Amino acid sequence: MTVWYIARGAGLAALVLLTFSTVLGALMTGRGAAARSASRVVWHYVHRMTASLGLGVLLLHVGTILADPWAKVGWTGAIVPFTSGYRPTRVGPGTLAV
């Protein structure tokens, strides 16, 4: 059961971190305050760190999903969309997103 909690928590954390990184990247490319700011080096650093952390947590999520004996996703279900043994209509969009 612990693997299940880690997998779901890592998935949620990856979603939040990668969303935050995308929003920061979008703000820095325009004419917003983050792009004009004197501390844009800090904004770039935060953007890179949230993206790196998000990708690391995403790898943790995929690894724990593969290790979860109850979900039985398997390598094929993790790579090929909509072929998972566990809720294929819900796992499929996640596979496509990766």
**Considering the entire predicted model, what is its pTM?**
0.80
Q: Are 21 and 15 in contact (CB under 8 A)?
A: no
DSSP state of 69: T
Q: For the chain, how far is it from start to end, CA to CA, in angstroms?
A: 25
The pLDDT assigned to 88 comes to 79
CA–CA gap between residue 56 and residue 96 (Å, rounded): 18
The pLDDT assigned to 12 comes to 93
The pLDDT assigned to 42 comes to 85
Q: What is the pLDDT of residues 40-91, one digit of tens each?
A: 788 889 999 999 999 999 999 989 988 888 877 877 777 788 877 777 788 7
Q: Are 11 and 61 in contact (CB under 8 A)?
A: yes
CA–CA gap between residue 7 and residue 72 (Å, rounded): 13
Domain range for residue 54? 2-97
* Number of structural domains in the chain: 1
Q: What is the pLDDT of residues 13-46, one digit of tens each?
A: 999 999 999 998 888 876 666 556 667 788 889 9
Residue 17 neighbours by CB distance under 10 Å: 20
